[in-house]
Structure 1
Amino acid sequence: MRITGLAAYSSDLHYDGTAYAFAGGRSYQHFTSTVVVLTTDEGLTGFGEVCPCGPSYMPAFAGGLPACLEELAPHVIGEDPRHTSRLHRKMDRALNGHAYAKAAIDIACWDLLGKAAGLPVHVLLGGLLTETMPLHRIVPLSDPAAMAASLDAYRKAGFRHFQVKLGHDVDEDIAMMRCLADGWQHGEVWVGDINGAWRRDQVARFSRSLQDLDLILEQPCASYEECLSFRQRAHHPIKLDECLTSVADVQRALKDDAMDAMALKVSKFGGLTPSRLIRDLCVAAGIPMTIEDAWGSGIATAAYAHLAASTPTPYLLNTTDLHRYNTTQLAHGAPEVTCGTMRLSNRPGLGAEPDFSLLSVPLVTAGSLN
């Protein structure tokens, strides 16, 4: 099998809420998603999707994706998509960095691998180990009353894992968490996500003031070094996210004992090929993970859900249903969500395909698309 063509499309995903807001004054109403389509000489078509969470969240810019894909396309066409590691190494030689662009192609290759084998991708990633995946629900940064109302609504919808965005004044966030914690129920998992917005002294004061709360603190400071320094005196488990951007970063964090958990965002690391390696390193080290992505619709959700489903249950902290955060769905066949959990189908490949009526005209075309 050989890749004969590559095309890329885009569409805006509008947030199903007032605003998706988090620390640092960042707030968005919509995100631009890019869908990559790979065609092959055997008539199979593979789909990938990448959707950065705005231009200021991580090193990923939706406006730059078409240029990156134009650069990568000549190096991808003619390759066998089933040889995912070989193809990923070739992309790395062709373009330094820009993991998010490579992720869109890599995900489409895994979709093709599954379709060629007649198997769902999770089987190829290790097998179905977590059939029913727990979901966390994000509580965007807002005034305390609005956040309390959102949390209550999500709890009533069946969610038991919550990621509460922090980023007010530290004293305000301490008071808000005290207020929210009045409704805490047995078995719930709470993560306070600071998105790297605080200094070490600020997060130390926050953690010390709330040390009686069963709470995980996510990405408390901007840099890895600051987070590592704080971890040595933290009163809560530490989860790392934005400061880890490569396999080498994760290896360093494991060696330094820098984290109790991590957020594994598939597009940030370049797709399922490197993310599978990171997943297995964390499992071997006993580190639980939230397996997810920055944003996306049904194809992006399906990609990380297959990785999550093939993760041993003790090491899957949770995942998320990003496709249900949007007012529109760009794909058919996204994973099914019920009462705060998610399940995959047994369809070959990712099991999700784009709704081309909702996508732009092709932004990139290369090779033969027939």
Structure 2
Amino acid sequence: MKITQIEIYAIHLPLIEPFIISYDRYDTMPSIIVKMTTDTGVIGYGESVPDDHVTGESWESTYAVLKHQLAPAVIGQNPMEFEKIHEVMNKVIRDVPAAKAAIDIACFDIAGKTLQVPVYQLIGGRFHKKFPITHVLSIGSPEKMANEAAEHVEMGYRSFKMKVGTEVMKDVERIKAVRERVGADIAIRVDVNQGWVNASTTLRGLRAMRDLDIDWLEQPVKADDIDAMVEIKSKADVSLMIDEGLHGVKEMREIIAKRAADKVNIKLMKCGGIYPAMKLAVMAEMAGIECQVGSMVESSVGSAAGFHVAFSKKNMTSVELTGPLKFSKDIGDLHYEVPFIELNEKPGLGVTVDEAILEELCKFKDVVKEG
């Protein structure tokens, strides 16, 4: 089997409402969809949702890298040889993990469809039956965030990820408002997206919300400041999660060596896809670190890929893959049993892509063919 054609779609996924985090606001979500075809006629889909602030890639640059470097490099390769596919991509260009993730995910979709098994059977088999879904609250006024949380408690949600990362004491007001509205039995996870910058500001915030019983604090400081995470961990009694500070093996080695976090957030867009994500999960497992699989607010394609990783490993204790629930129109049919997610047993990613919607949302497209 070999890859004979790759179609690259640059799309904008329409959001039900704007998604606001510490460093940006999204009214639509830019995404790149890859449609990979083999000489056996099997088709696989992959997705790239780059982030200038996290992966160092833009929507436009990712499209160009896929068109001019990565797609031509993997044409003619066997999509089931995952290690080799990544070696080929890494020889062509350094880094660009979100771009590589699109190729990786499409290869796994093809492999699963070829062998007639779900992707999770290719990476260890299914361990978890289902995961509770965490609703993500984007940054707003304390009242707005509290109202949204209360509405979702009525829908059955038992956990929330709060996006903060503005002025630290205003963020504490937001967290207090949500806690007071939802009560003591609902889990609240706080994601700062680097917005508190350093250890001293973070420790000030933690002192102010000592009695709010948060599940964990995620990436309060700048991504490359692992030592600040170590300092916070030594002085605070809250669980710490690293997100933007973890891309690949290099960062994971440092996190483990310095005992810098209790949890890590593995995202396929940060590390390069399913295959490298599994390597990080195994490293974390050996160090006794719990993992979450998160996302960059991806469509059904990227979200399904993340779920297959999460469902296959024991040390995956939470997921945050809610992109399809935030879109007014999606290209795929990933199904949620809110407030839970249970994967189906269809081969590959288990997602059917609606090509009409893909074309409708497409801003521009290219095709890379064999020969």
Structure 1 match to 2:64: 67
Structure 1 match to 2:368: 366
Structure 2 match to 1:296: 298
Structure 2 match to 1:237: 239
Structure 2 match to 1:200: 199
Bigger drift between 262-271 and 162-171 goes to 162-171
RMSD across aligned positions (CA): 1.8
Structure 2 match to 1:326: 327
Q: Matches of 2:288 and 2:159 in 1, distance apart?
A: 20
Structure 2 match to 1:337: 336
5+ residue gaps, structure 1, are: none
Q: Matches of 2:255 and 2:201 in 1, distance apart?
A: 22
Contact 1:308 1:319 in 2 (8 A): no
SS in 1 for 2:145: helix
Q: Matches of 2:136 and 2:304 in 1, distance apart?
A: 19
Structure 2 match to 1:131: 129
2:99 pairs with 1:101: yes
Q: What amino acid is the match of 1:309?
A: F
Contact 1:290 1:317 in 2 (8 A): yes
Contact 2:55 2:96 in 1 (8 A): no
Q: Say if 1:168 and 1:366 are closer, same or farther in 2 by CA, change over 3 A.
A: closer
Q: Please report the TM-score for the alignment, with normalisation by the length of structure 1.
A: 0.93
SS in 1 for 2:241: strand
SS in 2 for 1:89: helix
2:140 pairs with 1:142: yes
Q: Matches of 1:57 and 1:84 in 2, distance apart?
A: 25
Shift of 1:240: 0.5
Q: Please report the TM-score for the alignment, with normalisation by the length of structure 2.
A: 0.93
SS in 2 for 1:338: coil
SS in 2 for 1:16: strand
Q: What amino acid is the match of 2:265?
A: A
Contact 1:286 1:315 in 2 (8 A): no
2:75 pairs with 1:77: yes
2:23 pairs with 1:46: no
Contact 2:297 2:321 in 1 (8 A): no
Per-residue CA distance 1:254-310 (angstroms, 9 max, x = gap) = 121100111111111000010011112222322222212212111111100111111
Structure 2 match to 1:169: 167
Q: Matches of 1:161 and 1:78 in 2, distance apart?
A: 45
Q: What amino acid is the match of 1:207?
A: L
Q: What amino acid is the match of 2:269?
A: S
Bigger drift between 30-39 and 283-292 goes to 283-292
Residue correspondence of structure 1 range 306-321 to structure 2 within 5 A: 306-312=308-314, 315-321=316-322
Structure 1 match to 2:351: 352
Contact 1:207 1:235 in 2 (8 A): no
